[in-house]
Structure 1
């Protein structure tokens, strides 16, 4: 599974159009996504103080079946590879969605049903 920290407005639009898109797809040609073990550091670095977020879980096999290309590309600033999704994500590939916000101390936590499942 792949994960995307999404703005609530982008998720709402996806439910209306049937496809998730975001500003990074238009600007960079792909949608940034993460492996489970990368979610919290991404949230800490790029989404501090945000409360209007949704965490989306995407099925990579469903993306491939929908002919949406996924490539892992090295990101030097993080010293690891990230999955980049080259096209709109059909809702059929979205398995789960959770509200995602930091706690009062500014710390993000994985949803309870994800945090116990290990990295993957």
Structure 2
């Protein structure tokens, strides 16, 4: 599985259209995803203080677009990027991102 964070409202739009594209897709050209080991660090770094967030569990075998594992920010980790739209049928699980007592995100049961 690979994982992507979005808002509940964006996911609701995706359900209506049968595919998902994040707000920044036109600018970025891909959908940012993470591995299970990476996703909570990503959430705490980029989404701290935000609410209404959901975690999509995506089956890479069901993604019709190209997935490239790359690092575009000169770090050491490689992240999966989906270069195209995400059909909702590729999403195997969905969970609300919750926050622990310290204010950090926790990995939900997906």
Is TM (by shorter chain) over 0.5? yes
Q: Which residue of 2 aligns with 1:8?
A: 8
**Distance (Å, rounded) in 2 between the aligned partners of 1:95 and 1:2:** 10
**Distance (Å, rounded) in 1 between the aligned partners of 2:35 and 2:84:** 18
Q: CA RMSD in A?
A: 1.4
Q: Which residue of 1 aligns with 2:28?
A: 28
Unaligned runs of 5+ in 1: 115-120
**Distance (Å, rounded) in 2 between the aligned partners of 1:69 and 1:48:** 29
**Distance (Å, rounded) in 1 between the aligned partners of 2:76 and 2:9:** 30
Q: Which residue of 2 aligns with 1:117?
A: none
Work out whether residues 50 and 102 of structure 1, in 8 Å CA contact, stay in contact via their aligned partners in 2: no
Work out whether residues 55 and 99 of structure 1, in 8 Å CA contact, stay in contact via their aligned partners in 2: yes
Q: Which residue of 1 aligns with 2:95?
A: 98
Given the alignment, which residue of 79, 91, 103 partners 1:82?
79
Following superposition of structure 1 onto structure 2, how do residues 28-67 of structure 1 map, counting pairs within 5 Å?
28-63=28-63, 66=64
**Distance (Å, rounded) in 1 between the aligned partners of 2:35 and 2:71:** 13
Unaligned runs of 5+ in 2: none
State the Cα deviation string for residues 67-109 of structure 1 (Å, max 9, x = none). Answer: x100011144542000000111001100000011323431111
Work out whether residues 21 and 89 of structure 1, in 8 Å CA contact, stay in contact via their aligned partners in 2: yes
**Distance (Å, rounded) in 2 between the aligned partners of 1:45 and 1:23:** 19
Q: Which residue of 1 aligns with 2:107?
A: 110
Compare the two structures and name the one with the higher helix fraction. Answer: 1
Q: Specify the SS of the correspondent of 1:80.
A: coil
Q: How many residues align?
A: 110
